[in-house]
Amino acid sequence: GWGIDIEFSPSNPSRVWFSDTDHIYYSNDTGRTWAEQLDGIKGNIRDIEFSTDRCGWMLTDRSVYRTTNAGELSIKNEDDNILPERFELYQNIPNPFNPTTILVTDYLSQAIWS
């Protein structure tokens, strides 16, 4: 199938995840070898993101999956609505045409947790 997303571990680029619409693959040697992960993913995979080396998210058409073990073994379905322990806000990128930044937090929390 066509590639949908590729994601590197934030501090170790030799660890890579790649997805097509309904499969996710993992490599720990910068893509020289790949192993398929997860059976029975609900919906087409749309995005993979890792916020830390161990915590990652996968968005599909029908569900959100989360891992806290770097995804090497499994990614569990996020049905239990575990809230993040903390949030971090980094400096916005300066925009010479618009000096203000608007944060839309309610929309993001509803989109992710409901």
Does the pLDDT value for residue 108 go beyond 90?
no
First to last CA, the chain: 30
Q: Mean pLDDT over all residues of the chain?
A: 75
* Closest by Cα among 3, 82, 74 to 44: 3
What pTM did the predictor assign? Answer: 0.57
For residue 91, name the pLDDT band (cuts at 50, 70, 90). confident
Residues forming a β-bridge with 56: 50, 67
**pLDDT tens digits for range 54-80:** 888 888 888 888 888 766 544 444 455
pLDDT of residue 3: 87
- Edge-to-edge strands of the sheet including 45-50? 45-50, 56-60, 64-67, 76-77
